Amino acid sequence: MESGDRATRIELANFSSPPMRAFHMSWLAFFTSFVGWFAVAPLMPLIRGDLGLSRQQIGTSVIASVALTFLARLLAGRLLDRFGPRRIYSALLVLGSVPVMAIGLARSYESFLLLRMAIGAIGASFVVTQYHTSLMFAPNVVGTANATAAGWGNLGGGAAQLLMPLALGLLVSAGVESALGWRLAMIAPGVAMLVMGVLYARGVQDTPQGNFEDLQAGRSRGAPGGSFSSAARDPRVWALFVAYGACFGLELTLDNVAALYFFDRFELDLTQAGAVAAGFGAMNLFARPLGGWLSDRVGSSRGVTGRATLLGLLLLFEGFALLAFSRANALWLAIPALLVVGLFVKMSNGATYGVVPFLNRRALGSVTGIVGAGGNAGAVAAGFLFRDESLATQDAFLVLGAIVTFVSAFAFLLSLWVEDRSGVEAPALGSELST
């Protein structure tokens, strides 16, 4: 069943229709990108010793890993409205593979910092994923589609926490020195990104009707062509920018620091700390899709106002959960608390992009890019807390919990002010997510 050629159902076993091919390829590409983006994180205890990094330098590298993503997401949003997701995603994956593999050549803090900053551009893959699925799915299911594709892609962050220590362990067991092993291990995610870039160019089309270059001037039959300025002038977009900074920004921060936090605070070994951090990432398997699904359910009866209200509630619960995690002083308390934080963080992520497609469809790429950049702005701001050597890590989490609780008010204000410009939302069609 389709609405204006856009799919109204998510049929997971369907690999033939343009919307479902785009769905599967976009989450796989995002998964691969996320592995490459965060492959360094679980290896940081080893890299710290190899390069002699201080806590301040590690904190700066965490900021660097997400700083360039801010600009990359804004640029990707503008380019998507002009060139379409197929070409932009392919180029991003191929070019992004270079610094991922090259970081193994770093011999100083400065070279490591610059390469980790360059790797951060890969984070623009999220904007492409959300843009592509927003073009392919109808209003009644677009929140679920966006959240599921992004959630399954975000699993790459958790996979990196498991796969990279495993790859290092295999190299060490084969007789490779650990200082060389982490460098060689970084080749694998880079190669995977390179291959995925080629597959994406060959395996998908931009819209249900065809590729942008085949649609007259990239603007007929559904290829959006709105301006960046129209999106940037909309205060609702910036409210979502702040909200996304409080949820996805926190996810990026935890992806970067969780393994090191459990390694230092609870004296776990590298593999154990990585497994705990991977558990946080694994919540994306269902939590982000759940947030998008709930957004669609609420949206079918209460419109975009209901979607924004749901987002405010999820952010509020996220803030409370983070406050509790910051005070967990025993491992048996800290791990469950981290998982509860992950539940609400990822549900909030999904609910955010249940709102995005309804703000300005003609400038969808720019809206998607601006809101997505908010996640990185939040991560950069949070990174300064973990860079401060006078502030204990658990106290940094406490401050973040208070900030997230406060930011939830932006989503509640948005619910009083948002307007559905997409027309009447399609009614619920039963269970859109089927196998």
Model confidence at 185: pLDDT above 50: yes
Residue with more model confidence, 45 or 36: 36
pTM of the full predicted structure? 0.78
Domains of the chain: 13-422 (1.20.1250.20)
| CA 64/CA 274 separation, integer angstroms | 21
Rounded alpha-carbon distances, angstroms, from residue 378 to 10, 83, 282, 371:
31, 28, 21, 11
> What value does the mean pLDDT take over residues 163-180?
90
pLDDT at 21: 94
pLDDT at 190: 95
CB 292 within 8 A of CB 351: yes
Q: Mean pLDDT lowest for which of 125-129, 138-142, 418-422? A: 418-422
Model confidence at 426: pLDDT above 50: no
pLDDT at 430: 32
Model confidence at 416: pLDDT above 80: no
Give kind and range of the element (H or E) at residue 98: helix 85-102
pLDDT digits (tens, 9 = 90+) for 329-353: 999 999 999 999 999 999 999 999 8
pLDDT digits (tens, 9 = 90+) for 61-78: 878 877 788 889 889 988
Query: What is the distance of C-alpha 149 from the center of its chain?
Result: 10
> What value does the mean pLDDT take over residues 77-106?
93
Residue with more model confidence, 413 or 23: 23
| Helix, strand, or coil (residue 423) | coil
